[in-house]
Structure 1
Amino acid sequence: METVDKARIHATERELVPRLFVRAMFGMVMICLTMVAIYRWMDGPVQYTAPEAPVVIEKTLFLEGAMSGAAKVFAEDGTLIAEYSPEEGGFLSGMWRVLQRERTKARVDLDGPVIVRARENNRLEIFDPSTGWGADLMGFGADNSAAFARLLN
């Protein structure tokens, strides 16, 4: 019995991916890029942003985090609201790191407050007044959003 050392491919190297498919994929990418470029060139509005709704609850908080995942949250007057272990505070600590990066880029004080808002449409958001950066927390999942919701109570 004879052993075969080569893989059993019945097509030549040129035919593994037909040239027509490669051209079609390249064409689709170019069409998408062209459509986006034209839309942005015509000043098309940004869509699929969170809908605006009245603010129900708003708190000014100070976040303090660590690379281990531990986090502390302080009220405006400096009292400790919550302290999380590395297992519990991962998302809060992650947000603290994002804030540190944004504040470093903007060259503002790293220890400034953040505003956490609950809106009428059940959406939570975090906003940094020193940089203008903000995020809709719904996009991070229910558990992570709930970590900030508990701070508003």
Structure 2
Amino acid sequence: MHDHAHETLPRGLLLALAGFALATLLLAGTARLTGWGTAHQDDAPTVSTRELRFEDRTDGGIAIVDARDGRTIAGAEPGTNGFLRSAVRGLVRERKRQGVGADAPFRLSARADGRLTLEDPATGRRIDLESFGATNAAVFARLLPTP
């Protein structure tokens, strides 16, 4: 009877596999750090924009404030507007991670091609809102100034 438990792969094959794994990790890391191999689409011209602040209220709601004049333009009642809350929460989390204060406004922009973006100029983060569907994008679209 032959014992297969002690059979091993040839040393050359193991070294080749390790080298392949290391090369894959190095290439992936380089691509991620440099942006190599990623497609970039330039933004269409901005047709409407508004600087916004999202302020927590004592009742658990959110006041949505026009940062230019300090006027409250909308609100999110407690337990509502889950998409708005999660989008803003993600941007605020990044601010905390980078040590950026909460005073800088966010920028909501509508583009000529119909795209809608929420940007945080303080961290460089951005959310392409239309990628979450028309219903979710409409939550933010209503915050833009009316012509």
Q: Give TM-score, length-normalised by structure 2.
A: 0.68
Mapped partners of 1:50, 1:85: distance in 2: 36
1:27-38 alignment runs, 5 A limit: 34=24, 37=27
Counterpart for residue 104 of structure 1: 96
Higher Cα radius of gyration = 1
Counterpart for residue 75 of structure 1: 66
Counterpart for residue 124 of structure 1: 116
1:1-153 alignment runs, 5 A limit: 34=24, 37=27, 40=31, 44-47=36-39, 49=40, 51-65=42-56, 70-76=61-67, 77-152=69-144, 153=146
Stretch deviating more after TM superposition (131-140 or 37-46):
37-46
Q: State the superposition RMSD in angstroms.
A: 3.1
Mapped partners of 1:98, 1:147: distance in 2: 16
The runs of 5 or more residues in structure 1 that have no matched partner are: 1-29
Mapped partners of 2:137, 2:49: distance in 1: 15
The runs of 5 or more residues in structure 2 that have no matched partner are: 1-19
* SS of equivalent to 2:37: coil
Deviation at 1:88, TM superposition (A): 3.3
The share of aligned pairs that are identical, in percent, is 36
Seen in structure 2, the aligned counterparts of structure 1 residues 65 and 37 have a Cα distance that, compared at 3 Å, is farther
Q: Which amino acid aligns with 1:111?
A: D
Q: Give TM-score, length-normalised by structure 1.
A: 0.65
Structure 1 residue ranges (4+ consecutive) displaced by more than 6 angstroms after TM superposition: none
Seen in structure 2, the aligned counterparts of structure 1 residues 91 and 70 have a Cα distance that, compared at 3 Å, is farther
Q: How many residues align?
A: 122
Mapped partners of 1:108, 1:75: distance in 2: 20
